[in-house]
Structure 1
């Protein structure tokens, strides 16, 4: 293996990419639906390689990929972070701050009691609270200390060791607390409460796995018979004849002529109508005697499926029902889905749309083009990123982080280039939600920055930690694991009681909220499985932005507190 050791020494990037590849293989392994994820997998991949080979890794290389990750995550959560501070969202914002703060205080208390060094303390925090980016901010804080390089590298290696040990229960603890322990502590029936939330949102179930009737099928052509239910009614009346369902008569063939109707157009016997909607509801509106016909000329309608990004007050803050009733431009457009903060949220008549949401819509090209400027903008597929904004924002974030210090008691804590870059991403992401033309970076590019940036960074941390991993586990393994259990559970349990009895949050949504405050989407998935309902995603979407920002920042804080 000497030849491989020489290769890794000469070309350390080989080891980094191998560690990332191993990490993704480890991340795919799951037991009963639960896995470590690709980030922890990459960390373990790096530790595995580093345990057998000396791989020289540049601190500058680590910083380069980590700053890309931080900007990407800030850019993603920026719109929801500021939006959730408004209106009734303040209660969720408080929860999103409360849980991370309790997590920091618990981690500090446990680390101080166990007499851990700053490296182990930071890894205890990042692993137990399942926020791997804190590894990076803590590493930067350690590198800035006035200590010998050997001591700093040792402590940075300890971060990786503690994170790998504590992350196991960190993941399992969030899943268990959200799906099983939480409902027992708060004494409520998760399924029954979730159904109540669905009813309040106007979500109608027709069968298992179907949560809304707002799903389009497309255009169909029907001929209205002499005894058809729609004969003698106006187009507007026919479209509203099935409560809670959206149908649109786009074109009519009458006596050989084709025309586009208005709301007051009266339907006649033997009309052939082109209707947009779900087939089963079309029959209810037109009558069971209406029959579908093949009329290619009538159905020659340009149909588009676009994603609309919400930026305007016309839509933001309103329910779907209010939009349907009050926004004329919404006619002829059907909603297929809503994405908030990268996650799909349930659709119901009382679902509230927020700035920064993405609506997935289908309709005639004309109808969608009318609606787009009213709600915000169309997200056109693009492979170009505004690198001018990206580069400038990261530069400013690094500059601010390098010069700004925050007084905390007798301490003066440097903000750090990592936290500065994270905040720069938050601001640019928010600015994009207000000015859609500003700082456009495709979702695929952001996803790549977030995935490869963090995976490569932790892989390099693992390569450095490899030589000390086995010995460190022997000395501190069980202590860190037990301490990690405490650090994981206390913020979750306190968050449950604080959210329910102080903030008066709905318990079903609260479970998703505490999972979001610890940025663990697997916790939400477990709640959805237990409740047979998607509503917990709403709670997650309220708090995840706060969790990402504060938990990442805690890496810097915990090092300052422990030195």
Structure 2
């Protein structure tokens, strides 16, 4: 054992990545739908740090990892965050989350009086119950102590398992009726205008009577298929090709327009065929569909755009991002120029501008260095929350002149998961000895306190959302996931409620509550004279 200990301490980077590998292996263990996921890296790191105290890499490794995580999250969710602040439902959701976060913080601080916890342990319980790694980093930096990491690691399991258990219990009690979004994939319908009241009217007039998420993309007339324009005049026996988000909505729209067609569109591909390409060239990325002139010799049309795991209904204002998969209806002779025009490179799903990420991160670190005087409490700096704030603003703008601030979803996920993993491994290895000493002294006390803090975060949101504001279950589940912050909670919410609402709620809540948590751990020590 001494040989292994010596090897780990002499090779801290080897120890770091070995810790990550073992952590992810343990995190994949699934017990009745529950797994620790990336959180297992923290616990393995604590064990490695306890076994080989000098194996922890430099703190700069953890700081860099967390900065990458915060920047990637902010850039991805910036637009949804600001949209949430503008809408009444978004403001209501943020208020609910804010109440839960502040209550959990107040209860954590109460334990410094009732159970004589140190301020570091209390802030660690607060961060761990909310599974907020950025909050942990802010607490460590504010106190210049590893005490928060101890409280965080004790409360973290409850921060993951507690919300999942609460969502499951509420789901089983209420049994809400939810409609699946079918994985975000567009559906297609062919409708024939037999003796229809819309004969003689334009496509635009017909489209105005349909749901906003249903679109007419092509027309079959006299045995030929062709794209449609809003000015095209409809006639009896025309066949319309319609796209929409789900079968039910298309069935309803189709019945109001005409009769289902046996599928002549799909069988006859002489005039129009389907092609899907990756948007990877600078000439299309960052540009709205309405500003793009397709290089086709015959009429063609964009039928849908797939971004990540969701299909987007194309419109003139939809701005293409690197890695988007664009589905078009075009003549086969035009397939080659279409591929060349869009670039059609799969590499675009994993590439981003190092110029924009470099500038964005630099702006964030500069903003975090600004010192804010608080009367009676001293001075507080934003720290790494400055990176998150900068990323949210840039993610909302998405593009400034030639600079594209967005990161393709696949690259974004890799970047933020790598960053989070590096931070958890580094901070766990550095905190291992103190964690073992604290748990041996306090026994199960801190475990119970962590569970209480978690409940004060989750229960107010569930009560306010479901019983006071009468919000749908899937929306409340997304708000809970965003307030708690752990992606595992969001994944479970999506499993219970397979709609878009949990993802939207998470996007609206997570960035703002992360900033609030960071501010809490910066302000509280000043109030306590720390």
The 10-residue stretch of structure 1 (229-238 or 507-516) with the greater mean CA deviation from structure 2: 229-238
User: Counterparts of 2:455 and 2:199 in 1: how far apart (Å)?
Assistant: 61
User: Counterparts of 1:356 and 1:542 in 2: how far apart (Å)?
Assistant: 22
Q: Is 1:191 aligned to residue 160 of structure 2? A: no
Matches within 5 A, 1:398-437: 398-407=365-374, 410-432=376-398, 437=403
Structure 1 residue matching 2:218: 3-state secondary structure: strand
Shift of 1:525: 4.7
Q: 1:542 to 1:64 in 2, by over 3 A?
A: closer
The 10-residue stretch of structure 1 (536-545 or 7-16) with the greater mean CA deviation from structure 2: 536-545
Structure 2 residue matching 1:414: 3-state secondary structure: strand
Match of 2:416 in 1: 450
Shift of 1:107: 1.6
User: Counterparts of 1:299 and 1:356 in 2: how far apart (Å)?
Assistant: 23
Q: 1:451 to 1:555 in 2, by over 3 A?
A: farther
The 10-residue stretch of structure 1 (45-54 or 277-286) with the greater mean CA deviation from structure 2: 277-286
The 10-residue stretch of structure 1 (484-493 or 519-528) with the greater mean CA deviation from structure 2: 519-528
Match of 2:73 in 1: 73
Q: 1:234 to 1:33 in 2, by over 3 A?
A: farther
Judge conservation of contact 1:50–1:462 (CA < 8 Å) in 2. Answer: yes
Match of 2:343 in 1: none
Match of 1:216 in 2: 187
Match of 1:370 in 2: none
Q: 1:482 to 1:73 in 2, by over 3 A?
A: same
Q: Is 1:298 aligned to residue 271 of structure 2? A: yes
> TM-score normalized by structure 2?
0.75
User: Counterparts of 1:253 and 1:548 in 2: how far apart (Å)?
Assistant: 59
User: Counterparts of 2:273 and 2:187 in 1: how far apart (Å)?
Assistant: 18
Q: Deviations over 1:445-496 (max 9, x none)?
A: 3323311112111211121222333332111241111111111111222233
Q: 1:41 to 1:559 in 2, by over 3 A?
A: farther
Q: Is 1:516 aligned to residue 501 of structure 2? A: no
Shift of 1:98: 2.4
Judge conservation of contact 2:120–2:148 (CA < 8 Å) in 1. Answer: yes
153, 157, 162: which one pairs with 1:168?
157
Unaligned 5+ runs, structure 2: 291-299, 332-345
Q: 1:140 to 1:538 in 2, by over 3 A?
A: same
Judge conservation of contact 1:121–1:559 (CA < 8 Å) in 2. Answer: no
Matches within 5 A, 1:439-518: 439-499=405-465, 505-506=471-472, 508-518=474-484
User: Counterparts of 1:310 and 1:506 in 2: how far apart (Å)?
Assistant: 35
Shift of 1:124: 0.9
Structure 1 residue matching 2:378: 3-state secondary structure: strand
Judge conservation of contact 1:79–1:355 (CA < 8 Å) in 2. Answer: no
Match of 2:30 in 1: 30
Match of 1:149 in 2: none
Structure 2 residue matching 1:37: 3-state secondary structure: coil
Judge conservation of contact 1:229–1:287 (CA < 8 Å) in 2. Answer: no
User: Counterparts of 1:311 and 1:91 in 2: how far apart (Å)?
Assistant: 33
Judge conservation of contact 1:178–1:515 (CA < 8 Å) in 2. Answer: no
Judge conservation of contact 2:482–2:510 (CA < 8 Å) in 1. Answer: yes
Match of 1:51 in 2: 50
Q: 1:541 to 1:300 in 2, by over 3 A?
A: closer
342, 346, 362: which one pairs with 1:395?
362
User: Counterparts of 1:266 and 1:81 in 2: how far apart (Å)?
Assistant: 42
Structure 2 residue matching 1:364: 3-state secondary structure: strand
Judge conservation of contact 1:66–1:453 (CA < 8 Å) in 2. Answer: yes
Q: 1:354 to 1:103 in 2, by over 3 A?
A: farther
Judge conservation of contact 1:27–1:36 (CA < 8 Å) in 2. Answer: yes
Match of 1:364 in 2: 329
Q: 1:473 to 1:84 in 2, by over 3 A?
A: same
Q: Alignment length, in residue pairs?
A: 485
Shift of 1:14: 0.4
Structure 1 residue matching 2:55: 3-state secondary structure: coil
Shift of 1:15: 0.6
Q: Deviations over 1:380-417 (max 9, x none)?
A: 9365433334333433433343341341x632242243
Matches within 5 A, 1:253-268: 264-265=232-233
User: Counterparts of 1:136 and 1:60 in 2: how far apart (Å)?
Assistant: 12
